[in-house]
Structure 1
Amino acid sequence: MKGRTGAFAATVVICSCLIFVYTNLNPEGPVTRCVIPDIPVRSVTGHPRPSVTPDTVDGKVNRSQLRDVRISTVHLSTVFRTAIPQSGAFWNRKFYSVLKKLDKKGNLPKSEISGNGTLESTESLQTNIADFNKYPSIHQDFLRSMHFRSPDILINQPNKCTSNGKPDTVTLLFALKSSAQNFAQRQTIRQTWGQEKAYENGLLVRTVFVLGTSSSEEPDLGKLLSLEAQEFGDLLVWDFKDTFFNLTLKEHVFLKWSILHCPQVSFIFKGDDDVFVNTNAILKYLKSLQPAKVSKLYLGQIISQASPLRDPKIKYYVPHTFYDGPYPPYAGGGGFVFSGALLESLYSITWFIPFFPIDDVYTGMCFQALGIVPEKHQGFRTFDIMEKDRENACVHKDLLVVHRRSPQQTLRLWQRLESPLLTC
């Protein structure tokens, strides 16, 4: 009886907390608050999940999980070096200070990294950027922390890519950018295309959601995330504010995590938590690749000949005095795939190239700096498809990624695609 009572109590706590999440997402509904007691949470199998608790001991970050990753000497491609104009813009000046440190072969010595973990003072920024005080606050915050690269990890999944203590050869790792309040999106992915299992021919898929922490202006969902992490074992949470301009930092820390905890992964899918992915179609495509392509794959919907947007009212605004020049060809950040063989090189190059506030542009810079040319695939539709086709399962059957879909749309599409009754 005691066991049943405990299970019931745990269920009540979980349901109450989910009500809290959904009612906060719906401002018209009642707000129900919950306090999560310190109870051992068990998985759906009834057994405690090992190694999925937050990396804390007595309330302090457990640094035993935060090993350093070797930063390699990196060769900077000529294409990237010549693409950035030499001008007075702040980012350009930072970049050219890095170029001065290249050796005769175009290599960047690891002793000369641009990210030393320090914060830039407001006085320094005002001295170096004449109109800094006119920048939007989100830009000012980004500039103060653009050299910061080593936040503590609060919730880790060190055994995500292992079985029985041994590394798994993971075919595809879904790494999805999420935020604390997006439980519905995460749960939908778990139920549909993000299921962790062995697909046809034994191709192994794993899924993680990559998060920062809530700002002081948002409800503190830390305890709820802890509970979710224990139940599902797929949350990675770092100690930095989860803002749009910090997505570049989120990319950087994920690369480090992958090298440490999923080093044998063949391919990584990076994307948002509101995309619809045809997992079987992606695996089929990846399996068809020639060996020469596998090691240098950077695949998605490619944006070419793009330039910074200069309207301060736009989300993607980049001031003239911060960056001058075109953008490299890059894969839309809604969803793209790259080779696991590139993890160490990508991570290393992020220590040399100054952070940029738009994460998919920055990722494109890193790939171009490594001499990797992005590959376009018609199955990636990160800017959506025609409205009349958005509920058509047959249209989605030949697509790999579509952005964006609500949880309800994703559930409907997945159920239809998986149905043996579907005829296209």
Structure 2
Amino acid sequence: MKMTTPDLDLVASIKDKYFQQFGDDHAIQVFRSPGRINLIGEHTDYNNGFVLPASVDKAVYFVISPREDNLVKLYAADLDETYSFSLDDLTKPAKSWPHYQIGIVEQIQKRGLEISGFQAAFGGNVPVGAGLSSSAALECCLLYALDEIFGLGLGRLDIVKMSQKAENEYVGVQCGIMDQFASAFGVSESVMRLDCRTLDLEYFPFPMDEYMIVLCDTSVKHSLASSEYNTRRLECEKGVEILKKYDPAIQSLRDASPELVEAHRDELGDVVYRRCKFITEEIQRVLDACELLVEGNLPAFGSKMYETHDGLQHEYEVSCPELDFLVLQTRNNPDVIGARMMGGGFGGCTINLVKKTTVDAFEEEMKVAYQKQYNIDLPCYRVKITDGTGEIV
């Protein structure tokens, strides 16, 4: 997919840095892969449910050209750092940022595909640590670029699966597939409903005429995040084992209903009951939210976002005081139709649907309130839903 870039200045800057590093006698190509947001459908991915992500206008860019030898030379423009390696030696370096690129090369080799060396400068404006999946954007961007340059014959689904594997196997992060999917398959002004069991994809309209998506970044990441994530997965699995006794067809919480969970509340026990209640309701909430988008009812869609936050706060218990505070600030604001925490939890961003004409005032109010409460500056990011991974012409 060829595209024009939404951020000419950033691309020009990365191009300049490429030429400073590698000289200007190369035929370069430029590729872009966006970060992502998730509107509704949190923690449903590993329960084989549905998610509702979209790719946004914060992106990673690669300026790249092939070499005639076996060397890969990388320049991280945002860090002003370089790293080189041979295609014959994919040893994991102490420096962490090249792990993603080497992981992609390893996946290409595992498929029995051949490439020569290449050199690339890369950078972008996906905020790191804000839950917009800069790593997935980077992986999809590089693999898409190498596929185009070396004619590897990969489809978009191949790129998604290989990028996820690179992160799972080389980087060592057991991420799901949503982030890479959203980055690679994004369509402007549309959200995508991804079935995490079948990988079926369906697009729904998300017009941005009256409302804007604003992310408010708590700037905190509580240490509970990774250990509690693993605990939640185990709690869901425990729920599945109990519910299977009453319906052998249940393989994951995707197969259970809120009614079945309610019927066996006592046997599940308080904690597992609340986890299962949230997940089964959240899976249904994604389906209901998509119907509302088809009807063009964005305010009712926004109400579903609040329902998701309440469930994440009280039933799934993966929120934190900072996230709850930011969502609370919006509840009596008539210019905000929906808000919730976004991502795994214990920090990161809230996602807010704000009337376009009032975004300046909204951001100012939120920044003042957050500074007063926590003495922390609140970064806010305005995002538009854009197309997914592609080459820039």
For CA contacts below 8 A with separation 6 or more, give which structure has more relative contact order. Answer: 2
Name the TM-score, length of structure 2 as normaliser: 0.28
Alignment TM-score, normalising by the size of structure 1: 0.27
Instruction: Give the structure with the larger strand fraction.
Output: 2
